[in-house]
Amino acid sequence: MVLVLVAKKKIGFLDEKILMPDLDSPLYEDWQSCNTMVLSWLINSMHIDVSSSIMYCETTREMWIKLKNLFSPGNVPKIYNLQREISHISQNQMTVTKYCTKFKRMWDQLLKYEPFPECSCGAMKILSASHDKAYVMRFLMGLNENFETLRSQIIIQSHQEPHNISFVM
């Protein structure tokens, strides 16, 4: 929805860059028309169970805040589910490319919910290396047994050169 609102130049209704004018302003009617249009886009993009609980909001900003409050606490369960999926993913019948793509998508999504902290002390390099190593190790764990030789070689190499382990797709 954010992509649509940016494309339609209506994102300002969510971030309050487009403020509601005074009721007696000549701009009020145009603002109200656009606000109602964006409200309808939001409502029509939601499941009925969600929209029915917020459809009486008068402004797009008010609805957006209610949606954020409704779904933001959901980050902890989402992080839990992503970590659980990542810990159970395996190649099975997938091609390596499909497995890698699925794995990377989940890992990137997890990073979106648990981003690295801002840091200027140099610790980010250590944290990033640790993150990369965990990524590679978890990816290797999910590969089929016919990749055992390759997996062993990567693990041995990472033990000999621990600072040099990374995986780029």
pLDDT value at residue 163? 55
Long-range contacts of 143-148 (CB under 8 A, 24+ apart): 143/90, 143/91, 143/96, 143/99, 144/90, 144/91, 144/92, 147/91, 147/96
Per-residue pLDDT 10s for the chain (169 aa) are: 888 899 999 999 988 899 999 999 999 999 999 999 999 999 998 888 888 888 888 999 999 888 887 776 557 888 899 999 999 999 999 999 999 999 999 999 988 888 777 777 778 888 888 888 899 999 999 999 999 998 898 888 877 765 555 554 4
pLDDT value at residue 168? 47
Read off the tokens for 89: 């993913």
Read off the tokens for 107: 């890992």
Buried b (16+ CB within 10 A) or exposed e, 17-32: ebebeeeeeeeeeebe
Domain boundaries, the chain: 2-73, 89-164
Would you say 20 and 31 are in contact if contact means Cβ atoms under 8 Å apart? yes
How many other C-beta atoms lie within 10 A of the C-beta of residue 56? 9
Distance CA 101, CA 104 (A): 5
Where do runs of H (alpha helix) occur along the chain? 2-7, 12-15, 28-44, 48-54, 60-71, 75-88, 96-113, 123-142, 148-160
